[in-house]
């Protein structure tokens, strides 16, 4: 007798235009966050605050870079709470509008205090990026949420490529293109205005299209007509007749849950372990990929324990990795997530750090022994980056767990708390990782590999914590 396979539930169609608008707003965060990286050293020096002592440049540049995530951390919860009180649409649109103004202000700033203030404003207005994840949860259901949330880290990858490219290409246009921009005194006086203006224009484009097309998604604020508009955007309805939709903490004001929960009430035992894991993922990922691997480990010279790669080689590696990473997660890993669930997918994703950090140790030792980056070192780098492609899936697995844990009428606040933790740990990662790497090289503890030992220990702790996550399936 042949066995009968169970019929898999058919995924409901996504509201594609609404999803496009949300992703357009989300991509402004990495663009505005990272557009300053190529020219931040020059911008700090131009303020005169270092008084000719170039050794102090990194200190002041670090303050400006960290200010973004600090301001984001301090405001993200309140954006989420405001969206619970006044609706998602109006709160979400404030973000890209404010960003466009803050970027222009940064571009025309000529003293250090002004740079810090406008950088903080950029982080503050990026703080409502958590509201976009709330909207995404409210316009999807359990059959298609996986596909939607998979796009979040991909948008981050796209923005992470566009932001530094804008900053690198458009900075100091009067020097780069003297026949055109060099004729205008403005671009001589404000050499970093053009990349900031370009990033600000992209943020304003997101605001403009969002203002025209974004619909209210909170059940407590949208009316019946708005529901009909959203439902009719696709060729078939988001939910089939008679099917119940998961609210995932959205709630409404007619189900007995119209009271907003306090922070203490939101921090249940289940949600605390989710926040702990989210913080560990953020700090571990930011530590190795942004501030240890790039630029420190790959760019440092071979004699002191690096790989001695040029900026061009590092950029080429990042570009290839970003492309493959996006395709791999979009076409393969999101299907795996749907099959095994967010908890198991997160465990697998975070466990990839137990491959990444030992390989970092082996790669550095191999390059030092060979005195160059040979074929074996390149092969090990490929293996390391292949393992790193699983890290991205950890982010959308974690976001699904966050959404599923939200109590009624508190989805915005829950996303705000989660983004607060992520922003705070990202702000600590630069100081933690770069200082640890420097100590490793200067002290030569464990042969200069103290950084790998600490990060491996952190990864083991993170894997242990990942097994404490709630076992929620899609």
Please report the pLDDT score of residue 315 as a whole number: 60
Task: Give the pLDDT band of residue 55 (cuts 50, 70, 90).
Answer: low
List the one residue out of 422, 194, 444 whose CA is nearest residue 414.
Answer: 422
- Terminal CA-CA length for the chain: 31
Average pLDDT over residues 150-172: 80
Please report the pLDDT score of residue 97 as a whole number: 94
Q: Contact at 8 Å (CB) between 291 and 280? A: no
The percent of residues above 90 in pLDDT, for the chain, comes to 30
Q: Which residue has the higher pLDDT, 225 or 261?
A: 261
Q: Which residues make Cβ contacts (< 8 Å) with residue 212, sequence separation at least 6?
A: none
Average pLDDT over residues 379-401: 90
Is the pLDDT at 150 greater than 60? The verdict is yes
Q: Please state the pTM of the whole predicted model.
A: 0.71
Task: Give the pLDDT band of residue 94 (cuts 50, 70, 90).
Answer: very high
The beta-strand segments (E) located in 328-453 are none
Average pLDDT over residues 332-340: 86
Domain 13-214 has CATH 1.20.1250.20: yes
Q: Which CATH class is domain 263-474?
A: mainly alpha
**Same fold for the pair 13-214 and 263-474:** yes
Cα–Cα distance measured from residue 151 to residue 154, given in angstroms and rounded to the nearest whole number = 5
Is the pLDDT at 446 greater than 90? The verdict is no
Q: Which residues make Cβ contacts (< 8 Å) with residue 114, sequence separation at least 6?
A: 105
Q: How far is CA 208 from each of CA 139, 193, 244, 273, 315, rounded to the nearest angstrom? A: 21, 22, 34, 38, 32
Query: How many helices and strands in the chain, by DSSP H and E?
Result: 23, 0
Average pLDDT over residues 311-323: 70
* DSSP string of 38-89, one letter each residue: TTHHHHHHHHTTTTT-GGGHHHHHHHHHHHHHHHHHHHHHHHHHHHHHH-HH
Kind and range of the H or E run holding 225: helix 224-231
Average pLDDT over residues 368-389: 91
Q: Which residues make Cβ contacts (< 8 Å) with residue 288, sequence separation at least 6?
A: 353, 356, 357, 360, 433, 455
Tokens 């600090």 map to which residue?
70
Q: Which of 121-130, 182-191, 362-371 has the lowest mean pLDDT?
A: 121-130
Please report the pLDDT score of residue 222 as a whole number: 66
Is the pLDDT at 405 greater than 80? The verdict is yes
Domain locations in the chain?
13-214, 263-474
- Cis omega before residue 295 (within 30°)? yes
Average pLDDT over residues 374-386: 92
Is the pLDDT at 421 greater than 60? The verdict is yes
Task: Give the pLDDT band of residue 250 (cuts 50, 70, 90).
Answer: low
């Amino acid at each position: 007798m042949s066995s009968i396979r169970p019929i898999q539930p058919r995924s409901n169609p996504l509201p594609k235009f609404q999803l496009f608008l949300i992703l357009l707003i989300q991509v402004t965060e990495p663009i505005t966050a990272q557009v300053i990286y190529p020219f931040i050293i020059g911008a700090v020096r131009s303020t005169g605050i270092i008084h000719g002592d170039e050794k102090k440049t990194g200190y002041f540049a670090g303050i400006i870079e960290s200010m973004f995530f600090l301001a984001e951390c301090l405001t993200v919860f309140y954006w989420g709470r405001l969206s619970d009180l006044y609706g998602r649409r109006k709160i979400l649109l404030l973000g890209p509008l404010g960003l466009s103004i803050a970027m222009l202000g940064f571009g025309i700033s000529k003293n250090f205090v002004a740079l810090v203030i406008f950088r903080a404003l950029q982080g503050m207005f990026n703080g409502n990026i958590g509201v976009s994840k709330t909207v995404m949860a409210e316009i999807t259901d359990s059959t298609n949420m996986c596909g939607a949330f998979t796009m979040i880290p991909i948008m981050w990858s796209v923005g992470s490529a566009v932001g530094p490219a804008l900053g690198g290409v458009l900075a100091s246009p009067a020097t780069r293109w003297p026949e055109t921009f060099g004729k205008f005194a403005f671009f001589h006086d404000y050499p970093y205005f053009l990349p900031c203006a370009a990033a600000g224009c992209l943020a304003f484009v997101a605001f403009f299209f969002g203002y025209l097309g974004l619909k209210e998604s909170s059940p407590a604020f949208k009316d019946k007509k708005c529901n009909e508009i959203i439902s009719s955007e696709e060729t078939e309805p988001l939910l089939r007749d008679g099917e119940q939709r998961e609210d995932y903490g959205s709630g409404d004001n007619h189900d007995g849950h119209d009271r907003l929960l306090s922070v203490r009430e939101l921090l249940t035992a289940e949600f605390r372990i989710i926040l702990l894991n989210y913080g560990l993922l953020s700090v571990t990922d930011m530590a190795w990929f942004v501030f240890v691997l790039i630029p420190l480990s790959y760019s440092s010279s071979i004699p002191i324990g690096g790989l001695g790669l040029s900026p061009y080689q590092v950029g080429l590696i990042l570009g290839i990795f970003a492309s493959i990473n996006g395709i791999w997660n979009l076409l393969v890993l999101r299907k795996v997530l749907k099959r095994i669930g967010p908890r198991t997918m997160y465990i697998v994703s975070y466990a990839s750090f137990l491959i990444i950090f030992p390989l970092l140790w082996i790669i550095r030792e191999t390059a030092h022994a060979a005195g160059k980056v040979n074929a074996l070192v390149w092969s090990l780098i490929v293996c390391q980056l292949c393992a790193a492609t699983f890290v991205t899936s950890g982010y959308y697995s974690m976001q699904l767990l966050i959404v599923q844990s939200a109590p009624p009428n508190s989805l915005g606040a829950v996303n705000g708390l989660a983004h607060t933790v992520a922003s705070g740990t990202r702000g600590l990662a630069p100081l933690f990782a770069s200082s640890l790497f420097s100590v490793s090289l200067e002290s030569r503890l464990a042969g200069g590999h103290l950084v790998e030992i600490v990060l491996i220990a952190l990864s083991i702790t993170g894997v242990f914590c990942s097994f404490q996550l709630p076992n929620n399936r899609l």
